[in-house]
């Protein structure tokens, strides 16, 4: 007997944030696409009972540094079906995509063009090599920090722009612009990069230039600068991790972003539901002689991920960066468990209307600090990353929908799906077929139990998969079935600029 469909999800609560569709009904999949939603005739080779479960579009993560099989698998349990490296990016972009295509990627993947790698290469700090993980490239070049602290000459600026332009030509989804790691870059260079973004109708994914609660060069200064670049060049400035780069100025920064948006400026933002950030130990802002006064944070709030060492001061951090500049650290900048004001500030960024949820997920690292590239499942016990690499979206839904009721489920799902899609779909048309439960769209679907959905990872056990995702389908193929990973599943496809 021939079946009409490949898979039918029966009797789930089907929720589509773009249209507001919210009904208990069936959803059918055929050939990797959604074939029918609602009441329809036909049978399928596989039927899944979704009674009592939420059927939603798979989540789109704009800001995920993991980009490996291990990272995909952990994010699958977090409801993610598309995971993109956009804040940093990669160069050469064509080589990066070619390398990913050889990996059994479970989730859809993509990258921005890495402005900072173009800058490092122009200053002679690195050789461009897509076989080096972007996070390791972020830590490279610490022997001579001119690429970070010095303004580029006109000739150097042309070379940097040329590197980024080639990345866009090779399919990069916008421009990764982590200005905070190269604050020496001048406004002339930033304006030229933004002109390029406008030319290609591609967003910039920005880490603000300065991390400080006090002027000069405060976080507020950085936001005003980015908003000004949006107005002056027309470039879409997507501001990454509103929660962490604003430090204690979140309230003022939110006001500035809202005013910019109210004026029609192309400014968007994202946040993750943690008061702890992560980066490489060689990040220049840690070496600011006035770090404690400018950030309101003690060095003891900074922790080496691989061994949980808490730093005793600037000299201790200098020693660590000299030993291995690619080592990853966590920065506990807000104490949301013990401080109500810190919780309020984090909430302002996470619940910001129109803002996306994005994980800033870190790679999984071995005990020696090297990045894990293996295929073992479950992940080895000795691996570390950040809890956000495992549980960003489930934590957000658990806290803000089920436990604290700061927003309805549909609004929360929009922040995980259609809102991040709106950031990139003008330059990446393939996204228009994703994050939607509509006929003809790609079958990237998460099926979860809202009553049991929860993150399980914490800062002592980071590699615990989240609970509550019962099924996850990517391009119509099952990655999670009845709460268990299908280790042979590798349906992830590349997402590129201009590719439909």
Give me the pLDDT at residue 198, please. 98
Give me the pLDDT at residue 248, please. 84
Residue in this structure with the two tokens 């509550």, named with its chain if needed: 468
> Of 235, 234, 209, 207, whose CA–CA distance to 221 is shortest?
209
> Of 59, 55, 57, whose CA–CA distance to 26 is shortest?
55
Give me the pLDDT at residue 211, please. 84
The residues of the chain scoring below 50 in pLDDT are: none
> Of 331, 217, 218, 206, whose CA–CA distance to 281 is shortest?
331
Question: Is the entire prediction scored with pTM above 0.75?
Answer: yes
Per-residue CA distances from 60 to 109, 392, 495 (Å): 10, 12, 12
Q: Are 70 and 372 in contact (CB under 8 A)?
A: yes
Q: Are 344 and 254 in contact (CB under 8 A)?
A: no
The tens digit of pLDDT for each residue in 24-71 reads 999 999 999 999 999 999 999 999 999 999 999 999 999 999 999 999
Q: Distance between CA atoms of 446 and 468, rounded to whole angstroms?
A: 10
Give me the pLDDT at residue 212, please. 84
Give me the pLDDT at residue 3, please. 85
Q: Are 86 and 46 in contact (CB under 8 A)?
A: no
Q: Distance between CA atoms of 447 and 465, rounded to whole angstroms?
A: 16
> Of 170, 242, 232, 171, whose CA–CA distance to 205 is shortest?
242
Q: List, in sequence order, every residue forming a beta bridge with 446; answer none if it has no partner.
A: 56, 472
Q: Distance between CA atoms of 201 and 172, rounded to whole angstroms?
A: 12
> Of 432, 435, 422, whose CA–CA distance to 498 is shortest?
432
The tens digit of pLDDT for each residue in 182-212 reads 999 999 999 999 999 999 999 999 999 998 8
> Of 79, 81, 107, 111, whose CA–CA distance to 95 is shortest?
111
The tens digit of pLDDT for each residue in 255-269 reads 999 999 999 999 999
Within 8 A by CB and 6+ apart from 323, the residues are: none
Give me the pLDDT at residue 486, please. 98
> Of 88, 60, 108, 87, whose CA–CA distance to 357 is shortest?
60
3-state secondary structure the chain: CCCCEEEEEEEEEEEECCCCEEEEEEEEEECCEEEEEECCCCCEEEEEECCCCEEEECEEECEECCCCHHHHHHHHCCCEEEEEEEEEEECCHHHHHHHHHCCCCCCEEEEEEEHHHHHHHHCCCCCCCCCCCHHHHHHCCCCCCHHHHCCCCHHHHHHHHHHHHHHHHCCCCCEEEEHHHCCCCCHHHHHHHHHHHHHCCCCEEEECCCCCCCCCCCHHHHHHHHHHHHHHHCCCEEECCHHHHCHHHHHHHHHHHHHHHHCCCCEEEEECCCCEEEEECCCHHHHCCCHHHHHCCCHHHEEECCCCCECCCHHHHHHHHHHCCCCEEEEECCCCCCCHHHHHHHHHHHCCCCCEECCCECCCECCCCCECCCCCCCCCCCCECCCHHHHHHHHHHHHHHHHCCCCCHHHHHHHHCHHHHHHHCCCCHHHHHCCCCCCCCECCEEEECCCCCECCCCCCCCCCCCECEEEEEECCEEEEECCEECCCCCCCCECCCCCC
Per-residue CA distances from 445 to 29, 66, 335, 407, 450 (Å): 10, 21, 34, 22, 15
> Of 111, 174, 114, 159, whose CA–CA distance to 140 is shortest?
114
Q: List, in sequence order, every residue forming a beta bridge with 44; answer none if it has no partner.
A: 5
Counting every residue written for the chain, the total comes to: 500
Q: Write out the two tokens for 198.
A: 């406008």
Given the DSSP bridges, would you call strands 302-304 and 108-114 parallel, antiparallel or unpaired?
A: unpaired
Q: Write out the two tokens for 350.
A: 């996470």
Q: Distance between CA atoms of 94 and 118, rounded to whole angstroms?
A: 14
Q: Are 356 and 367 in contact (CB under 8 A)?
A: no
Give me the pLDDT at residue 366, please. 94
């Amino acid at each position: 007997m021939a079946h009409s469909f490949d898979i039918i999800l029966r009797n789930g609560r089907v929720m589509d944030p773009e249209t507001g569709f919210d009904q208990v009904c069936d959803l059918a999949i055929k050939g990797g696409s959604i074939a029918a939603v609602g009441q329809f005739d036909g049978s399928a080779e596989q039927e899944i009972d979704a009674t009592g479960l939420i059927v939603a579009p798979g989540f789109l993560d704009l800001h995920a540094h993991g980009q490996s099989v291990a990272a995909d698998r952990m994010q699958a349990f977090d409801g993610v079906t598309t995971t993109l490296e956009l804040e940093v990016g990669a160069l050469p972009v064509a080589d990066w995509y070619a390398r990913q295509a050889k990996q059994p990627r479970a989730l859809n993947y993509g990258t921005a063009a890495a402005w900072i790698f173009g800058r490092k290469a122009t200053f002679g700090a690195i050789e461009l090599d897509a076989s080096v993980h972007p996070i390791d490239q972020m830590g490279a070049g610490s022997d001579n920090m001119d690429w970070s602290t010095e303004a580029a000459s006109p000739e150097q600026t042309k070379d940097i722009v040329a590197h980024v332009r080639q990345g866009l030509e090779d399919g990069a989804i916008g421009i990764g612009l982590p200005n905070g790691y190269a604050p020496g870059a001048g406004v002339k260079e930033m304006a030229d990069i933004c002109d390029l973004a406008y030319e290609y109708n591609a967003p910039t994914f920005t880490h603000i230039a300065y991390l400080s609660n006090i002027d000069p060069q405060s976080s507020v200064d950085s936001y005003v600068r980015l908003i000004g670049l949006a107005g002056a060049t027309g470039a879409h400035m997507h501001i990454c991790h509103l929660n962490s780069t604003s430090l204690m100025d979140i309230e003022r920064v939110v006001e500035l972003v809202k005013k910019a948006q109210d004026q029609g400026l192309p400014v968007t933002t994202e946040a993750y539901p943690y008061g702890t950030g992560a980066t490489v130990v060689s990040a220049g802002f840690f070496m600011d002689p006035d770090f404690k006064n400018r950030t309101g944070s003690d060095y003891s709030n900074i922790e080496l991920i691989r061994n949980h060492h808490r730093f005793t001061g600037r000299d201790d951090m200098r020693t660590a960066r000299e030993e291995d500049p690619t080592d990853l650290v966590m920065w506990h900048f807000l104490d949301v468990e013990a401080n109500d004001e810190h919780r309020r500030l984090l909430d302002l960024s996470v619940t910001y209307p129109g803002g996306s949820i994005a994980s800033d997920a870190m790679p999984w690292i071995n005990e020696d600090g090297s990045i894990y590239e293996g295929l073992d499942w479950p992940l080895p016990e000795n691996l570390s990353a950040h809890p956000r690499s495992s549980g960003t979206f489930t934590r957000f839904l658990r806290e803000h929908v089920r436990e604290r009721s700061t927003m309805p489920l549909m609004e929360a799902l929009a922040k995980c799906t259609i809102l991040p899609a709106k950031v990139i779909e003008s330059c990446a048309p393939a996204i228009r077929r994703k994050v939607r439960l509509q006929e003809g769209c790609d079958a990237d679907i998460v099926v979860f139990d809202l009553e049991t959905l929860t993150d399980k990872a914490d800062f002592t056990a980071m590699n615990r998969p989240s609970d509550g995702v019962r099924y996850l389908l990517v391009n119509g193929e099952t990655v999670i079935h009845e709460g268990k990973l299908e280790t042979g599943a590798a349906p992830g496809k590349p997402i590129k600029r201009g590719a439909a």
